[in-house]
Amino acid sequence: MEHLRSMVWGPAEFVGPPPLRLTARGTLAGCLAAAAVVGTTIAGAWYGVPGLAAGEGGLVCAALLVLYLCGVRAGRALVGVVAVLAVCLALRTPQAAAGFVLAERGRVEPVVVTSVDSGSKDGTGSGRCLCSVIDRNGVPVKVCIWRGCEQNTRPGDAIAVVYDVKGRVPPRGAEGGGSPLDALSGLGGCLAGLLSACVVAVVRSYRLSATDPAPRPSL
């Protein structure tokens, strides 16, 4: 049972508070992984690299973090928790990265609604209204807009849409615009969970080597 517990949750062969160096190492690993996941996705959206903007680079960073934890022989359950949180962060970041780019260099312009579909799903299962729109030159916008598209919106109405001036991020409704940091605020929960799980996984991976002195009991 002791061996099984060690494999699942990590050996944690220390008495008293966890070693400071392990806490620092876990914090550093979590911060670097989170920065890599978010940073690569933002860079992909900013420079128009489809693979990175879609979160594929973030998934690679998540895999590298899992490999690191396996390398330090962290508990399997904690490695699994970190893997789930890292993948969730990588999958949620593309939308936040697009919002970051639009908040940083977006331009708000009015568009005209051509049709409203109140029964469509927007990919989140929420059943929001989706508006098909044309720009001021009469050119149809390739994506449907849900921000600012309400139940009482009718064809011919004008709504505001924010465009990326370099065309690397799809336009979206300008309703509820904010700062670039506001666009990333929705990732806070995943970031905090990932950092905490990394610290716990690394700390509990501590093993006494043959040359280590026996731990003294805490007072």
Task: Enter the tokens of residue 56.
Answer: 């594929």
Give Cβ neighbours of residue 187 (< 8 Å, ≥ 6 apart): 38, 89, 92, 93, 96
E strand or H helix at 15: none
Residue 215 tokens read as: 């731990």
The reply to whether 80 and 121 lie within a common domain is no
Cross-strand pairs, 116: 131
HSE, side-chain direction, 13 A CA sphere, residue 211: 0
- Is residue 25 within 8 A of residue 33, CB to CB? The reply is no
Decide which of 4 and 124 is more confident. 4
pLDDT of residue 69: 94
**164 and 193 assigned to the same domain:** no
Nearest residue to 186 (alpha-carbon basis) of 196, 198, 178: 178
Yes or no: say if 131 and 150 are a contact pair by the CB < 8 Å rule.
no
Residues 142 and 54 in one domain: no
Sheet arrangement for strand 158-164: 130-134, 106-117, 158-164, 172-173
Does one domain contain both 32 and 113?
Answer: no
In a domain, 168, yes or no: yes
- Tokens representing residue 186 in the block: 């929705």
In the predicted structure, residue 212 carries a pLDDT above the cut 50 = no
User: What's the mean per-residue pLDDT of the chain?
Assistant: 86
> Residue 28 belongs to what domain range?
2-103+179-203
Taking only the tens place, the pLDDT of each residue in 150-182 is 888 899 999 999 999 998 999 998 865 578 888
pLDDT surpasses 70 at 215: no
CA-CA distance, 26 to 203, in Å (whole number)? Answer: 7
DSSP, collapsed to helix, strand or coil, labels residue 148 as coil
Q: In angstroms, rounded to a whole number, what is the distance separating the alpha carbons of residues 131 and 145?
A: 5
How many whole angstroms separate alpha carbon 139 and alpha carbon 31? 44
2-11, 113-122, 147-156 — most confident range: 147-156
Q: pLDDT, tens digit, for every residue of 69-106?
A: 999 989 899 999 999 999 999 999 999 999 999 999 99
Looking at the structure of the chain, the number of domains it has is 2
Is 209 within a domain? no
Per DSSP, the three-state class of 208 is coil
Q: How far is CA 34 from the centre of its chain?
A: 8
Residues listed for the chain: 219
pLDDT at residue 11 in the model: 78
* CATH at 165: 2.40.50
Residue 121 lies in a domain: yes
pTM of the predicted structure, to 2 decimals: 0.82
